[in-house]
Structure 1
Amino acid sequence: MLFPLAFLTLFFVLVLLLTKKLVCNEKHLKLLPPSPPKLPFVGNLHQLGSISQESLHALSMKYGPLMLLHLGQIPALIVSSPEMAQEIMKNQDDVFASRPSTKASNLLLYGGKTVGIAPYGEYWKHAKKLYIVHMLGASKVKSFKLVRQEEVCLALEKIRHAQRLSNSIDLSEVFSSFTLDILCRLGLLYEKKKIDTFSLTILYFMRFTSTNAEIKELNKTRVVVSRNFSNRNLLRELIEEGTALLGEFNFEDYIPCLCILDIFLKFDSKIKVVSRKWDDLLEQVITEHLNRDEKNGDFLDILLSLELNKQTEFELTKEHTKAFLLDMFGAGTHTTFVTLEWVMAELVKDQKTMQKLQQQIRKVSGNKQIITEEDLKNITWLKAVIKETLRIHPPAPLLVPRESLQESQVKGYHIPKGTKILINAWTINRDPKFWPNPEEFFPERFMEDTGVDFRGNNFQLILFGAGKRICPGINFAISNIELMIANMLLHFNWELPSGMTRDEFDMGHAPGLSVRRNEKLCLVPR
C-alpha cells in the first residue's frame, strides 16, 4: 500500500517540476527589454538616486531607450527616446493608456477618481469630457482672459509694493499666489481685495479695449462673495504636502511583503493626516457654496448643479466633486508656478536673451500699459523662450506613469500586462540627434519655423504627454505663463541680487516628482 502511494507522490512531483520548466521556457522564449542586474526584494531601486530622471538617463545610456527595471517587485518599462515614446503614446496608445494604482493616489485622490490618475475606461472618458467642457476647453480658457489680466495687474502691483520695501523680490511667492488666485476665482469665486490706483488704471484700459460680454464675465467673478477665501494659505500648504507624498517612496507599492514598515516610518500617518485636512477643507468649501443664495457659475457651482440634477453620464457624487477640485488645484498650479520660476531664472542668467525679448515686448505694446492676449501672437521671442525653458526643465520629467492594459510587443520586446511605464521626458528633450548642445539655453532654436511644438505631435519635445492621456490643461497653463512673463518684462528690468554672479546663481533641481528649483527665486526689479 505504501509503494503505490509513494509512486503517486513522486509522479505528481515530476509533473509539477515539468510544468514549471515548461512555463519558465515559455517565458524565456518571450524576449524582454534589456535590464540591469537586480537584487532580491529591492530589484533595481538601489540604482535610483534622489533625482530619478538623471539616474534613469545614465542607465538608459548603457541599456538602451527601452529598458526594463524592477522597482522592488514592480516591473517598470523606461522609455528614453522619441521613437519609443511615439510607439507607446501613439502607435499603441490604447494598450498603454491606463494609470497604475498607488497607495498615495488611492488615499489622497479619492480612490483614483481624479482625471489625471483615473484608470482608463468609461469613467475617465466622461470625467475628462466634463473637465474640458466646463473648465479647460479652448473656448472656455479664452473666456477667462480678463480674469487672467486682472490677476496679472494685481501681481505687478504686489511687485511694485515689495520693491519699495526691499531690494530683492521673492518671485516664488508672487508666482505661487498668482497661479492659486486664478484657480480660486475660476473654481471657487471668492472676492478680491480692494485694488490700488495703479491697477485700476490698467483695468480701465482693459475695459476700454474689451467687449461688453467680456466685461460682464469679469464683473461676475469679482463681487459675488461677501468675504475673501480665507483658507488660501492652507490650500497652498496642502498642495505642497500632497505633491511630496505622491512622490515619496513607500513599501506597500514596491515591496508589499514589507508593507508593515510604512507604519514605523510614519508614511501611513502622514498621508492620513493630509488626506483628512484636504477632505475637511473641500467639505467646508462645498458647504459654503451650497448655503450661498446667489449662484454665479464657477466650476464648483457647475459641479454641484450637475450632481443635484443628475445631468452627467456617470453618477456624480460629492466624492467625485471633491476629487475634481483637488485635481484642479494640484495639477492646475504646478505647471504654471514651476515654469514661471524657470523662465525668469533662465532669463536673468542670460541677459542678452532677456533684452531681445523685452525689446520685442515693448515694441508690440507701444504706449499701452499692459500686454493683452491679442498682443501675444506677435511676441515670437516669448514663445521661443517658454518652449526652450520647458525643454530643459519639463514640469513632470517622467510624465505621469502609465500602465499596460494587456500583453504587447514593442520593437520585438515582450511587455507583460500590468507593466508600469515611465517616459523619461528629461532625457528625450535632450536627445542630441534632435537638439544640438542640448544642455545650453538657446531659444533661437525655436525662432525658425521648425513646426516643433509640445502638444503631443512632436515626440522629441514631450512635456505634457501625448495621445489619450495628454494633459488637458495645456492651454490654461500656457495662457497664464505667457501673459505673466510678458507683463513682468514690460514693466521691469530684472537682475540678480546684489553681489551675486551668474556662476553663483543656483540652477539646480530639487529632488521629487517635479523639477522645482533648489532655492526660492529672489530677483531685483528695476
Structure 2
Amino acid sequence: MSLEFNTWICIPVLIFVYLLSKHVLHKLYNLPPTPFPVLPVIGHLHLLKKPVYRTLAKLSGHYGPVLYLQFGSRHVLHVSSPLAAEECLSKNDIVFANRPNMLSGQYFGYNYTALPWARYGDQWQTQRRISAMEILSTARLDSLSHIRLDEIRVLTRRLFLSGNENPDQVINLRTELFGFMFNVMTRMMGGKKYYGLESGKLEEAERFHDIVDDTNQVNCEAGLADMWPNLRWLVARKIEKRYGDVQKRRDEFMQEWIDEFRANGLVNGKGEKTLLQVLLDLQDADPEYYTDEVIKSLSQALLHGGINTSVETMEWAMSLLLNNPPVLNKAQMEIDEHVGCDRLVVEEDLSKLPYLQWIIKETLRIHPPAPLLLPHESSKDCTVIGYHIPKGTMLLVNVWALQHDPNTWDRPEKFIPERFEGKENVGKAKEGLIMMPFGSGRRRCPGENLALRIIGLGLASIIQCFDWKRVTDELVDMSESGGFTAPKAQPLMAKYRTRPTFIGHLSKIELKRPS
C-alpha cells in the first residue's frame, strides 16, 4: 500500500516541478507569454481545435498578440498584431526568411530546394529572380493574357448553353471555377488544356486532378508528424510512404511534359512561349543549374500553389455577393457603366473597375487564402516587441487575426467593400502590417499579380454576363473547413440567368477543340 501511495504522491509532485521549472525558465529568458498548461511531450497541441487560426486568435485574445507555444518538440512564435507582424517580416525579415524542415518541403520541395521551401540563400534568391523576371513578370503575363481570356470565354459560353437548356438548374460554382482555373494554369505552364470534355484529354485531366487532391490530403495528414521532427522514424513511417508515393506521381507527370516538349521540338520554337518553354530555354543556356529537377520544382510550385487558392477566393467572393445582393448589383452596374453592354469585359478593363477591386480586397480580408502564412523559422536569436526569440523558432503569422482585428477594422466580420475607398495601397500603416493575404517581405507570394488578374477577370465576366441568386431564400452557408487553410466547407450552389443584353455576345463565342 505504501508503494502505491508514494506513486500517487510522486506523480503530482513531478508534474508540479515540471510546470514550475517551465514557468521559471520562461521568465528567465524573457520569452513571450505562453498559455497554461504546457503538457509534457505534446506541449500546447491539446489546445488546438479546427480551424486552427481561429483557435490561435482566441488564445491571443486572452494571453496577448505575441505567444510562445510548444507544438510537440517545436517552439512556435504566434503573432497576431500589426506591429509584431511588421517586426517579424520587416525589421527581422532576413532572420525569419528560412523555412522549417517539414515533410512537405522534404518531399514536394525536392529536399528543400524548391522555391516555397528552400532555405534563404543563393539558391532561393536565384529561383526567386527567375520567377520574378522570367515567369511572372508583367511582360510575360501580358503575353499570355489571351489564354486567360480564352478560358473565361469557354466558361461563360458553357454556362450560357447550359442555362438555355434548363433555366432553373442549380450549378456547382466551385466545379465550374475549378475547371476555368485548372485550364488557365495548365495552358500557361505547358500549353495543355485538360478540363472539360471538349479538351479530348479527360483521362489525363482526372489523373492530374487526383494528384492535386492527394497532394492536399497528404499535407493535411502530416500535421502531427511535423511536430516531432526528431522522432519521424517513430511517428511518421506511414505518412512518409504516402508522401513518397504522391511525389513520385507528381514528378513523373511533370517529367512527361518536359519529355514531350523535347520530343516535339518545341524548345526554342518560334512564337508565343509557355512558361515551361521559357524554363527549357534557360536550361539550354545553363544546363548545370537549370536541371530537370529545378524546372519541375518551379512548375509544380506554380501549378499546385496557384489553382486552389484562386478558386477558393472566387468562390468566397461569389458567396459573399449572393448574401449581399445590393453589393452584387452595384458591381454589375459599375461594369455596365465603364465597359458597356456592346462587348464582353477584358483584362485591361479591370483598372477601370474600382468597386470590383474593393470586393476582391474585402474577400481576401475576410477569407485570406492562407489564414496562417506558410511557416517561417528564425536563423538566429532576435527580439520581437521586446521579447527574446531563440534561434530555430517556427513563426506563424495569423493573417486571419490581423485582418479581423476590431482595433484596426470597423465591424471586421461584416462584408463592406466600401471600407477600401481611397485606400488603394492598404496593407502597411502606421500601426504596422494590417493586411497581407499574400504575405509580406522576402517570402511574399510571387504569384500575387497573376492571381489578382485571374480572379478579377473571372468575377467580372460572370457578373457581367449573368444575373445570380441563391438557391433558396436562406443565406449561403459560410462555414469554413480545414485546419490551417480556410476553404468553404460546402461547395457554392447557385442559380443564374443569362442577361438578355449579352445573349448575342455569348452566342458568337466559338469553342475550339484543341489539337
Measured in 2, the distance between the counterparts of 1:319 and 1:381 equals 43
The 1:121/1:363 distance shift into structure 2, 3 A limit, reads: same
**Is the aligned partner of 1:309 residue 2:281?**
no
Measured in 1, the distance between the counterparts of 2:228 and 2:402 equals 29
Aligned to 2:512: none
Cα displacement (A) at 1:191: 5.8
Measured in 2, the distance between the counterparts of 1:316 and 1:50 equals 41
Unpaired segments ≥5 residues, structure 2: 1-22, 498-515
Alpha carbons 2:195, 2:205 under 8 Å: kept: no
The residue type paired with residue 217 of structure 2 is: A
Measured in 2, the distance between the counterparts of 1:99 and 1:451 equals 31
Measured in 1, the distance between the counterparts of 2:172 and 2:223 equals 34
Aligned to 2:257: 285
Greater CA deviation, 49-58 or 288-297? 288-297
Cα displacement (A) at 1:439: 0.5
Instruction: Give the alignment's TM-score, normalised by structure 2.
Output: 0.85
* Residue among 283, 288, 304 paired with 1:330: 304
Alpha carbons 2:196, 2:202 under 8 Å: kept: no
**Is the aligned partner of 1:511 residue 2:482?**
yes
Aligned to 1:15: none
Cα displacement (A) at 1:250: 4.7
The 1:191/1:35 distance shift into structure 2, 3 A limit, reads: closer
Measured in 2, the distance between the counterparts of 1:404 and 1:86 equals 15
Cα displacement (A) at 1:95: 0.9
For residues 454-494 of structure 1, give each alpha carbon's deviation from its aligned partner in whole angstroms, at most 9, with x where no partner exists: 59997111211111111111110000111111111111010
The residue type paired with residue 220 of structure 2 is: G
Measured in 1, the distance between the counterparts of 2:223 and 2:349 equals 48
The residue type paired with residue 105 of structure 2 is: S
Instruction: Give the alignment's TM-score, normalised by structure 1.
Output: 0.84
* Residue among 213, 221, 233 paired with 1:248: 221
Alpha carbons 1:107, 1:275 under 8 Å: kept: yes
Measured in 2, the distance between the counterparts of 1:240 and 1:385 equals 29
Moved over 6 A (4+): 24-27, 192-196, 455-458
* Residue among 184, 189, 192 paired with 2:191: 189
Cα displacement (A) at 1:88: 0.5
Cα displacement (A) at 1:337: 0.9
Aligned to 1:45: 45
Alignment of 1:440-459 (within 5 A): 440-447=414-421, 449-454=422-427, 459=433
For residues 215-243 of structure 1, give each alpha carbon's deviation from its aligned partner in whole angstroms, at most 9, with x where no partner exists: xxxxxxxxxxx975852222222222212
The residue type paired with residue 252 of structure 2 is: D
For residues 157-203 of structure 1, give each alpha carbon's deviation from its aligned partner in whole angstroms, at most 9, with x where no partner exists: 1212332455111111111111111111111012689999xxxxxxx
Greater CA deviation, 394-403 or 327-336? 327-336
Aligned to 1:300: 276
**Is the aligned partner of 1:35 residue 2:37?**
no
The residue type paired with residue 143 of structure 1 is: S
Alpha carbons 1:154, 1:195 under 8 Å: kept: no
Measured in 1, the distance between the counterparts of 2:341 and 2:164 equals 25
The 1:446/1:511 distance shift into structure 2, 3 A limit, reads: same
Alignment of 1:485-500 (within 5 A): 485-497=459-471, 499-500=472-473
Measured in 2, the distance between the counterparts of 1:349 and 1:377 equals 26
The 1:455/1:413 distance shift into structure 2, 3 A limit, reads: closer
Aligned to 1:523: 494
Measured in 1, the distance between the counterparts of 2:26 and 2:34 equals 15
- Tell me the secondary structure at the aligned position of residue 256 of structure 2: helix
The residue type paired with residue 182 of structure 1 is: V
CA RMSD of aligned residues (A): 2.5
The residue type paired with residue 121 of structure 1 is: G
Cα displacement (A) at 1:299: 1.5
The residue type paired with residue 155 of structure 1 is: L
Aligned to 1:391: 365
* Residue among 374, 394, 408 paired with 2:382: 408
Alpha carbons 1:42, 1:255 under 8 Å: kept: no
The 1:59/1:189 distance shift into structure 2, 3 A limit, reads: same
Alpha carbons 1:398, 1:425 under 8 Å: kept: yes
The residue type paired with residue 236 of structure 1 is: H
Aligned to 1:3: none
The residue type paired with residue 277 of structure 1 is: R
* Residue among 221, 226, 232 paired with 1:259: 232
Measured in 2, the distance between the counterparts of 1:68 and 1:309 equals 47
Alignment of 1:96-107 (within 5 A): 96-107=96-107
Cα displacement (A) at 1:257: 6.1
Measured in 2, the distance between the counterparts of 1:430 and 1:369 equals 39
**Is the aligned partner of 1:269 residue 2:269?**
no
The residue type paired with residue 376 of structure 2 is: R
Measured in 2, the distance between the counterparts of 1:67 and 1:263 equals 28
Aligned to 2:212: 239
Alignment of 1:97-176 (within 5 A): 97-166=97-166, 167-176=169-178
Unpaired segments ≥5 residues, structure 1: 1-23, 197-225
Alpha carbons 1:68, 1:75 under 8 Å: kept: yes
Measured in 1, the distance between the counterparts of 2:335 and 2:394 equals 44
